Structure 1
């Protein structure tokens, strides 16, 4: 049996996820009581639960470095969360602040995640895939996934990368030397 197969066999079968949507427009709609649909969250909820994992938290915040950092720090301390998906704010516009705000928290960046994600996205979406700064990192024994806000990107990342490896990543992140 290969080492990776042994690690996966010993890994948790179910991971507890938090999902954070970073969207000023949806946040303002919520604040003024307007109806809105968070399609990316709905897709994430379906994929996470259908693959045997749990969705334990949902947070909606505007594109604010201060609120994003506070949310991340709160979720790091949350005992019911193993992995956090941050959806939105990974592009090239001035208000896309997710990666720049959260990357300094990483104990270790999983650079391959962004590379593989962009490769898969290129096959599905074409040349615009390189505009994403999607990445992942380990923080205090948890894993952060920083994804674009599009429903297609969230579904692709969850189905093809995150859910199949979530338990394995958590086991490695929490491994003692």
Structure 2
């Protein structure tokens, strides 16, 4: 059961698509994340597309962490040679939320079967900012947002700010 929203303001979010080929016009997953956040009453304060290069991904996360409560990345979580988002993000995380990746892969398995094992979706905290790293598939993004992220986002942010 989801926790009640504990924040008195919208969660400030950055949406980052990691891709060597997508553009603003073709970035369906980034558009879905932004739409779902807005529909849930959260605030998208930044949207970027960055190449799948670990140094650029990490640098952007470090920059955005000072500006937002949550960074949501999509793309680059598989095992292909250019899939480096997991490596860039996992290196930054000070605390991980292992349940996110575990439950996401379990839910994905119910939809796509054994291909779910190739997902390296991950979440955690970096400098007081939540980071969610999702696959680039629009179906995967929709699943993660609706089933896991949106129900818990305000609660997770309030927990980080209660210290």
Give the TM-score range, shorter chain: over 0.9
State the alpha-carbon separation in 2 of the partners of residues 134 and 142 from structure 1. 17
Establish whether residue 114 from structure 1 lines up as the match of residue 110 from structure 2. no
Q: 1:122 to 1:13 in 2, by over 3 A?
A: farther
Q: Could you say which residue in structure 1 is the equivalent of 2:17?
A: 21
Residue 84 of structure 1: which of 44, 66, 71 is its match?
71
Aligned to 1:47: 36
CA RMSD, 1 decimal: 1.7
* Post-superposition CA distance 1:120-141 (Å, at most 9, x none): 1111121111110101001111
Question: In the TM superposition, what is the alpha-carbon distance from 1:175 to its structure 2 partner?
Answer: 2.4
Q: In structure 2, do the counterparts of structure 1 residues 56 and 9 end up closer, same or farther at CA, with 3 Å as the change threshold?
A: closer
For structure 2, the 5+ residue unaligned runs are none
Within the candidate set 123, 132, 142, 1:136 is matched to 123
CA contact (8 A) 1:138 1:144 kept: yes
Deviations 1:10-39 (A, max 9, x none): 34552111110000112xxx5xxxx84110
- 2:58–2:92 contact (8 Å) kept in structure 1: no
Higher helix share: 1
* 8 Å Cα contact 2:5-2:154 kept in structure 1: no
Match in the other structure for 1:10: 6
Aligned pairs, number: 162
Quote how far apart the aligned CAs of 1:174 are: 2.2
Whole-angstrom CA distance in 1 between matches of 2:66 and 2:150: 22
**Pair 1:160 & 2:160 matched:** no
Structure 1: state its 5+ residue gaps. none
Report SS of the residue matched to 2:80: coil
Give the greater-gyration-radius structure (CA): 1
Runs of 4+ displaced beyond 2 Å:
8-14
Q: Report the Cα distance in structure 2 between the residues aligned to 1:9 and 1:48, rounded to whole angstroms.
A: 14
